[in-house]
Amino acid sequence: MTQLSALIARALDDMCEYQERFTRDPGHAQVSLADIPHALVPTHVVASDLPRELVEILGAELAPAVMYRFGRLIGLSHAAAFFADRKIGMTEPQYRVLTGPFHFAWAGYGDVQLLLWEPRLDEDFLVLWESDNSFSAREALNDGHRSRACHLQAGYAAGWASEATGLPIDVQEIACRAEGVSYCRFAMAHRDRVSLWMRDPRLHRPTKQYKVMPASMPRAASV
């Protein structure tokens, strides 16, 4: 087993144990994950209704940035709580980054397939990944929208990776299922280099040209 495969197997087990601590206490109007209160919100509200309201209030240019910042705050919070609970310190930065996709799936944001894995702890940090079931893209398609939609997912990934590494990580969506392609593709990079990476042809190849590494929870068998 390669080092990355071993880390993925460990992350799968670690996240399964953590997510078993999901509880509901309707008597106190509280839903908790590992003792951290949460509130359940319909995906359609987050993916369609909220962005539409933001466009009306702030305009089409600022609304995506707000959704990105919203996702980033959630990713930062989830990552900090998970690392503290599981006692995963900064001595394991790659593992901290890799656990993100598994929490991403458990939280309902989408699955992750790694295409490029180069999580260096400097300005050369780069991770390229795809998802074929982002809820933002799904809701956009259901509503008939044909524009890039996964600002929340990009922000979440940026928040998790920033908390994991201590670096200012940004995430840009390169392609989105809402635009008619098969996958939503994202590039994670250091804030000072992300624009340069976006011009790198390695980030724009067909999926079949990558050595794809699934970093997601197993899917239930079809009945």
The reply to whether 21 falls in a domain is: no
Report how far apart, in Å, the C-alpha atoms of 181 and of each of 57, 66, 120, 145, 184 are. Answer: 30, 25, 30, 13, 8
* Rounded Cα distance, 159 and 97, in Å: 10
Tokens representing 139 are: 């809701």
The reply to whether 63 falls in a domain is: yes
**Full domain range(s) for residue 123:** 40-214
The reply to whether 162 falls in a domain is: yes
* Rounded Cα distance, 111 and 153, in Å: 11
The count of domains in the chain is 1
Q: Which residues, in sequence order, are bridge partners of residue 126?
A: 118, 189
Report how far apart, in Å, the C-alpha atoms of 219 and of each of 42, 65, 77, 182, 214 are. Answer: 22, 32, 26, 18, 12
Predicted TM-score (pTM) of the model is 0.94
Tell me, what DSSP letter sits at residue 121?
S
DSSP, residue by residue, 129-174 = EEES--HHHHHHHHTT--S---HHHHHHHHHHHHHHHSS-EEEEEE
pLDDT number for residue 23 = 94
Q: Chunked in runs of 10, what are the mean pLDDT values of the chain (223 residues)?
A: 85 93 93 92 94 95 96 97 96 96 93 96 96 94 89 98 98 96 96 94 96 81 47
Tokens representing 80 are: 């900090």
The reply to whether 195 falls in a domain is: yes
The reply to whether 129 falls in a domain is: yes
pLDDT number for residue 223 = 42
The reply to whether 203 falls in a domain is: yes
pLDDT number for residue 2 = 81
| Beta-sheet strand order (sheet of 169-175) | 169-175, 184-190, 126-131, 113-118, 213-214
pLDDT number for residue 65 = 97
The reply to whether 70 falls in a domain is: yes
Q: Domain containing 78 — which CATH number? A: 3.30.1380.20
* Rounded Cα distance, 110 and 93, in Å: 22
pLDDT number for residue 204 = 96
The reply to whether 4 falls in a domain is: no
Q: 160, 164, 155: which is closest to 134 by C-alpha?
A: 155
